[in-house]
């Protein structure tokens, strides 16, 4: 006999978020024909609720409303109720978020949208309370009654609302697009200048509270600062990196970054941890280490990657999606400390820890403490009359002790679905780190992940969106989106450059061809987010702007540009398509750099003369590794690297123009540095190679 009073259709789903609602008294459907046909058959409006498992306010609304039998009865009597995990269905989320933003001027999750049986929105919002606790906001039951009544008795009003919203559904772009015929370097300079003006020069970051990392814009800032030598831009970027890694948004005991900070000081995070943030931030800190030599950035990157290996990795190599903000029904409870707890655990080591991590009796978050660093190690060591090395060792021991105690607490929930696009982001970070840091463990994590995706999320050459391994077995489903193809292909290119196994390049080429065949539309000179044979929705979404993750369109452009160099672009597909997409958006991107950071980085690659570097030699031979280290110890974002191993079959060499005609010099590992397929003289020594780079 079931211990649950209610069980609905969501019990058959794989998404942990949907399964969280499987025992609500609400008669939930997952998105699909069954629900849409039911709405038409009964002429009932649809109540669409969209969220994700790590979302704090999604949990709040579920507890207040969806677990309430009286509210559920209202929903069941008057609506066909559909639950969607936005991480599984970014297309549905994007379409209806446009509608909510058009209606209310803001968006967020949980997202609550009311649709006609045809799927057209007529009203929407985000969180609605169970009662009239907030002035000016109707209670959720009041809203249900009013909209049900309007649908039955005022169809003209509903039709008018539909028409008002309809036009918003055919554009994923919130800023006007200015098409241009030429792509010029001054677009990059204008974008960098605008971006620089938006930095908070006291606390770092772009804009005020709440503060999001906005990694794509920060990555473009790093490129721009290094390319132009802009010291102010580099200083603003470094301030941001320092403040984030020292703030409460970073988990100083278990590592990894939370989603964002609710304040302007990076102190109080929204405690959920997302795979996509940690993949992008680990790569950004790694590249900042390459560019500046600052060892602190290397440590942050390594610690973040170690967190993902420890807590976010499936036994076969896939990466899990998120960790919740809540545990035991309280946001952040797992992560926070009282001063007394720390004193009891650390004993004589407590004063140093308390001073360094800003712990106080009153706390900085609801009477407790979020660990954060406000003073330098040198300053704290001097004030405590300690040597810096002694303080460093003491803090490391204390962190380990507190971490072990924290591990005994009830952990936040973990969303263990595996999404192809987010895995592509994390794959790239591990691959680059494996090469730059000479860490075989990171390289193995990258290889394992690529193998996992190709085994479970690749069906007949088509990518699937989501995988879940549970008591029902291993299940993968849903068509892949543009971001799935682009991000995974991007990860495979990085993986090739650490393993030099041409299999990964071959797979990336297949994905690139699929991107052009299924997502590129010549008439609009742009990409759609859904494939040509995707389920027909009320609109076909096109999101050009970066959000929490890069725009799929921007990553696709970057992948095509890199593959054009690897392959020689024999059919003249890759670079022309990428160039057309850039011409469509570059003028707009230069005016809105925080929204188009990834596209601007791709434009930087397009306008640069990327270095084509070929190393001839045994992959693991010391002289080969010395040349590779010379390449990867530098921050060179605009490059591709290939390895020509001994005894490469002629038919394989013929596939890759960069490898053709290469030979070793003096019987030693040899480097060729080329631009536009024209090469400098081959060299054997790291010193000579460094000069050419």
Q: Which two tokens stand for residue 470?
A: 């549970």
Which of 579, 607, 635 finishes a domain?
Answer: 607
Output the CA–CA distances (angstroms, integers) from residue 63 to 66, 71, 79, 188, in the order listed: 6, 11, 19, 48
Q: Which two tokens stand for residue 496?
A: 């090739």
State the pLDDT at residue 179: 63
The reported pTM is 0.95
Quick check: is 176 in a domain?
Answer: no
> Cα angle at 475 between 473 and 481, to 5 degrees?
165
pLDDT above 80 (res 398): yes
3-state DSSP percent of the chain in helix, strand and coil, to 5 = 50, 15, 35
Q: Which two tokens stand for residue 339?
A: 């001063």
Which of 576, 607, 638 finishes a domain?
Answer: 607
State the pLDDT at residue 172: 45
Confidence of residue 599 (pLDDT cuts 50, 70, 90): very high
pLDDT above 60 (res 174): no
Residues 561 and 657 in one domain: no
Quick check: is 62 in a domain?
Answer: yes
State the pLDDT at residue 592: 96
Query: Which H/E stretch holds residue 367?
Result: none
Which of 607, 642, 663 finishes a domain?
Answer: 607
| Residues 530 and 93: beta-carbon distance below 8 Å | no
CATH of the domain at 208: 1.50.10.10
What domain count does the chain have? 4
Residues 321 and 266 in one domain: yes
- By residue range, what is the domain housing residue 373? 335-408
CATH of the domain at 59: 3.40.30.10
Confidence of residue 132 (pLDDT cuts 50, 70, 90): confident
Residues 49 and 162 in one domain: yes
Quick check: is 653 in a domain?
Answer: yes
Query: From CA 358, how far away is CA 347, in angstroms rounded?
Result: 17
Residues 189 and 271 in one domain: yes
Query: From CA 274, how far away is CA 264, in angstroms rounded?
Result: 20
pLDDT above 50 (res 227): yes
Strands 414-415 and 670-675: unpaired
34-38, 100-104, 336-340, 344-348: the lowest-pLDDT one:
100-104
Confidence of residue 55 (pLDDT cuts 50, 70, 90): confident
Residues 136 and 284 in one domain: no
Output the CA–CA distances (angstroms, integers) from residue 312 to 335, 367, 437, 549, 639, in the order listed: 17, 30, 21, 18, 31
Residues 197 and 266 in one domain: yes
Query: From CA 584, how far away is CA 180, in angstroms rounded?
Result: 6
Residues 48 and 72 in one domain: yes
Quick check: is 3 in a domain?
Answer: no
| Residue whose entry in the numeric block shows the structure tokens 């941890």 | 273
Q: Dihedral of CA 59/60/61/65: which sign?
A: positive
Residues 642 and 540 in one domain: no
Query: From CA 542, how far away is CA 293, in angstroms rounded?
Result: 39
List, for residues 138-155, the tens digit of each pLDDT value.
899 999 999 999 999 999
List, for residues 422-463, the tens digit of each pLDDT value.
999 999 999 999 999 999 999 999 999 999 999 999 999 899
Residues 29 and 148 in one domain: yes
């Amino acid at each position: 006999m079931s211990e649950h009073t209610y069980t609905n259709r969501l019990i058959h789903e794989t998404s942990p978020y949907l399964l969280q609602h499987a025992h609500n008294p609400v008669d939930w459907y997952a998105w699909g024909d069954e629900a849409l046909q039911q709405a038409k058959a009964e002429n009932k409006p649809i109540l669409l609720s969209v969220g994700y498992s790590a979302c704090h306010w999604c949990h709040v609304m579920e507890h207040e409303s969806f677990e309430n039998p009286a509210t559920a009865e209202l929903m069941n009597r008057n609506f066909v109720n559909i639950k969607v995990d936005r991480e599984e269905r970014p297309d549905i989320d994007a379409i209806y978020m446009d509608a909510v933003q058009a209606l209310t001027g803001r968006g967020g999750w949980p997202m609550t949208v009311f649709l006609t049986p045809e799927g057209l929105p007529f009203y929407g919002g985000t969180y609605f309370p169970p009662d009239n606790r907030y002035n000016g906001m109707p209670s959720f039951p009041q809203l249900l009654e009013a909209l049900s009544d309007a649908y039955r008795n005022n169809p003209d009003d509903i039709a008018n609302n539909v028409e008002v919203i309809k036009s918003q559904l055919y554009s994923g772009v919130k800023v006007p697009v200015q098409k241009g015929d030429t792509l010029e370097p001054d677009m990059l300079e204008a974008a960098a200048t605008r971006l620089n003006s938006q930095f908070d020069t006291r606390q770092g970051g772009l804009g005020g509270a709440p503060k999001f990392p906005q990694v794509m814009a920060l990555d473009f800032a790093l490129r721009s600062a290094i390319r132009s030598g802009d010291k102010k831009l580099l200083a603003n970027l470094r301030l941001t990196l320092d403040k984030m890694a020292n703030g409460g948004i970073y988990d100083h005991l278990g590592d990894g970054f939370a989603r964002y900070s609710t304040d302007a000081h990076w102190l109080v995070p929204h405690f959920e941890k997302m795979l996509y943030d940690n993949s992008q931030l680990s790569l950004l800190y790694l590249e900042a280490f390459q560019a500046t030599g600052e060892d602190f950035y290397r440590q942050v990157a390594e610690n973040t990657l170690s967190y993902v290996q420890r807590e976010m990795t499936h036994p076969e190599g896939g990466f899990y999606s998120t960790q919740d903000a809540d545990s035991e029904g309280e946001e952040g409870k797992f992560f926070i400390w009282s001063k007394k707890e720390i004193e009891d655990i650390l004993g004589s080591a407590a004063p140093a820890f308390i001073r360094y991590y800003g712990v106080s009796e009153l706390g900085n978050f609801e009477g407790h403490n979020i660990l954060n660093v406000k003073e330098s190690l040198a300053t704290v060591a001097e004030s405590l009359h300690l040597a810096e090395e002694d303080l460093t060792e003491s803090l490391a021991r204390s962190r380990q002790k507190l971490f072990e105690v924290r591990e005994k607490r009830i952990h936040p929930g973990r969303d263990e679905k595996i999404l192809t696009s987010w895995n592509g982001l994390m794959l790239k970070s591990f691959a680059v780190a494996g090469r730059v840091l000479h860490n075989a463990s990171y390289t193995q994590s990258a290889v394992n992940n690529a193998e996992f995706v190709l085994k479970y999320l690749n069906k007949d050459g088509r990518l699937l969106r989501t995988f879940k391994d549970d008591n029902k077995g291993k299940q993968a489903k849903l068509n892949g989106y543009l971001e799935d193809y682009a991000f995974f292909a991007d990860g495979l290119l990085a993986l090739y450059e650490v393993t030099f196994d041409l299999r990964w390049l071959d797979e990336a080429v297949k994905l690139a061809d699929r991107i052009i065949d299924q997502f590129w539309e010549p008439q609009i000179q742009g990409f759609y987010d859904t494939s040509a044979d995707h389920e027909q929705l009320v609109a076909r979404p096109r999101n050009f702007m970066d959000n929490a993750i890069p725009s799929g369109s921007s990553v696709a452009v970057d992948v095509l540009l890199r593959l054009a160099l690897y392959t020689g672009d024999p059919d003249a597909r890759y670079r022309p398509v990428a160039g057309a997409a850039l011409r469509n958006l570059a003028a707009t991107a230069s005016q809105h750099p925080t929204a188009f950071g990834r596209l601007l980085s791709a434009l930087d690659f397009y306008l640069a003369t990327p270095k084509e570097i070929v190393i001839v030699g045994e992959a693991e031979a010391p002289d080969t590794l010395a040349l590779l280290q010379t390449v990867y110890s530098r921050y060179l974002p605009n490059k591709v690297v290939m390895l020509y191993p001994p005894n490469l079959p002629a038919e394989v060499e013929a596939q890759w123009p960069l490898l053709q005609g290469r030979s070793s010099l003096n019987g030693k590992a040899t480097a060729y540095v080329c631009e536009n397929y024209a090469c400098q003289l081959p060299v054997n020594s790291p010193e000579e190679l460094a000069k050419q780079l």
